């Protein structure tokens, strides 16, 4: 999920940055360029945050309490032994 968010936000951010740059080239100080630049910066920050998450996230280790593969037989819980 982090890879998808990283790539998507990065690509959309680049599109916003390019559009803002082209607007600044034609009319310096345009308010419309700021409208494109702000979401571009926010999406770039989101992309970098997800990029860091790619390398820092690790799956949780299963705990002993949530073990579902119990052996059947003498060591099985009483409810299972009563049905047999």
pLDDT at 33 (0 to 100): 87
So what's the pLDDT on residue 61?
Answer: 77
Instruction: Evaluate the CA torsion angle 48, 52, 55, 59 in order and state its sign.
Output: negative
Classify 80 as helix, strand or coil: helix
Closest CA to 15 of 44, 54, 46, 51: 44
Using one digit for the tens of pLDDT, what is the confidence trace for 51-84? 998 889 888 777 655 555 555 555 555 655 455 5
Statement: residue 43 has pLDDT above 60 = yes
- Alpha carbon 17 to its chain centroid, in Å, reads 22
The chain-wide mean pLDDT, for the chain, equals 81
């Amino acid at each position: 999920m982090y890879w998808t968010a990283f790539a998507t936000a990065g690509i959309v951010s680049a599109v916003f940055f390019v559009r803002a740059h082209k607007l600044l080239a034609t009319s310096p100080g345009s308010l419309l360029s700021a409208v494109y630049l702000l979401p571009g910066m926010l999406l770039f920050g989101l992309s970098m945050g997800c990029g860091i998450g790619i390398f820092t996230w690790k799956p949780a280790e299963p705990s002993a309490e949530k073990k579902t593969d119990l052996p059947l037989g003498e060591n099985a819980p009483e409810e299972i032994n009563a049905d047999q």
